[in-house]
Structure 1
């Protein structure tokens, strides 16, 4: 698989990355291992997780217990030669307290959590450490200075942010420049052919600023595969597992867009999922599309999408959805 440079860093990442939000949540450790093996053997080198990912996400209040990181760490321990061949990314800043919601990007919380993540991942460095959400209760300069300091300390190779708006990214870049911090490597935001209009401005800012863009939810949490058309509810799907974030796509406008995508799929003979991935990867400024695979076959599908050369007419149809 083709690899591309991530922002202004020395990290080369595959155009398809593996998202692991469901590891230990509704994907068992054994199945997670099989997915990791298949991803790496297929040329995917970016593995993305978070200290928040695990079964606690489905509790009230939602919290992270690091199960996904633990699974990946156990896998790395069994496969020590793989560590130097992958780009290991994780995140900090979402709630990790099962008793009360206390998300934070304070210096103290970051320093505590990075050590916990390193321990769970069973590694002595993280390639990309990301602020999971914007923290309105912590000065942004405190967060960025702490992350930059971790680069100097060697615990992380680079840092990024996630779920930032254009205004928030503008603020971050200004602080980094003013304080002469280590540069920001990446922005990880949701981006798919249903939500694309929401992220155009921040994507363009990232591109102008040489910040890599990691697009999560390129398949709109599975909606763009067509599995939920006509009210269908597959038994092992995210929606059936109670994934709350998928509900926002169950509206008339998005359903009509999915129906149009199916028509393009039927016309071209190309699976809907591959069209959705190709539509994201064709956008200037997007470095990698992150796949949350629950089956190894989904990885094969995404890789084929990365190699697609769609006619301009089809690309124009995808952009018009």
Structure 2
């Protein structure tokens, strides 16, 4: 698979990355290891996780215990030599307290969590360390200065942010320039062919600023595969397992768009999921689309999509959704 430069860094990442939010949550450690094996053997080198990912996400209040990181760390220890071949990314800043909700990106919390993540991942450095979301309770300068400092300490190679708006990214870039911090490498935001205008704005800013863009949820949490068409609810699907974030796609406008995608798929002979992936990867400024694969076969499907050259007529139809 083609590798592309991530932002202004020296990292070369695959156009399809592996998201691991479901590791230890819906996917067993054994199945997670099989997915990791197949992804890397297929040319995927970006593995993305977070200290928040694990079964605690479904508790009240939701919290992270690092289960996904632990699974990846165990896999790395069982596969000597793989670590140098992958770009390992994780995140900090979501709630990790099972008793009360206290997400924070303070200097103290970041220093605590980076050491915990390194221990769980069984590695001496993280290639890309990302602020999981904007923290309104911590000065942004404190967060960015701390992340930049971790680069100087050698605990991380690069840092990025996630779930930032155009305004928040503008603020971050100004602080980094003013304080002469290590540069911001990436922005990881939701992006799919159902994305709205605000998502386009922050993507354009990232592109102008030479910040790499990692698109998560390129399949709209599975909605763009067509599995929920006509009111279907597969028993092993995210929706059936109680994923709350998928509910926002169950509206009339997105339903109509998915039905139109099905028509485009039928006419072109290209599976809906591949159209959705190829549509995202064809957008200027997007570096990588992150696949949250629950089965090995989904990896093969995404890789095929990365190699597609869609006809202009199909591209025009996708843009009209």
TM-score normalised by L of structure 2: 1.00
Cross-structure match for 2:157: 157
Cross-structure match for 1:61: 61
Matches within 5 A, 1:114-193: 114-193=114-193
Distance in 2 of aligned mates of 1:197 and 1:311: 24
Structure 1 stretches of 4+ moved >2 Å: none
Distance in 1 of aligned mates of 2:113 and 2:197: 34
Q: What secondary structure does 1:313 align onto?
A: helix
CA shift at 1:243, angstroms? Answer: 0.3
CA shift at 1:195, angstroms? Answer: 1.5
C-alpha offsets along residues 15-65 of structure 1, whole Å, 9 cap, x if unaligned? 000000000000000000000000000000000000000000000000000
CA shift at 1:213, angstroms? Answer: 0.2
Distance in 2 of aligned mates of 1:251 and 1:199: 19
C-alpha offsets along residues 238-287 of structure 1, whole Å, 9 cap, x if unaligned? 00110000000000000000000000000011000000000000000000
Cross-structure match for 2:17: 17
Cross-structure match for 1:51: 51
Matches within 5 A, 1:303-314: 303-314=303-314
C-alpha offsets along residues 143-196 of structure 1, whole Å, 9 cap, x if unaligned? 000000000000000000000000000000000000000000000000001114
Q: What secondary structure does 1:302 align onto?
A: helix
Cross-structure match for 1:39: 39
Distance in 2 of aligned mates of 1:63 and 1:180: 34
Cross-structure match for 1:28: 28
Count of aligned positions: 321
Distance in 2 of aligned mates of 1:303 and 1:210: 25
Matches within 5 A, 1:254-273: 254-273=254-273
Cross-structure match for 2:316: 316
Cross-structure match for 1:79: 79
Cross-structure match for 1:103: 103
RMSD of equivalent CA atoms: 0.5
Distance in 1 of aligned mates of 2:80 and 2:272: 37
TM-score normalised by L of structure 1: 1.00
Q: What secondary structure does 2:188 align onto?
A: strand
- Listed as ranges, the gaps of 5+ residues in structure 1 are none
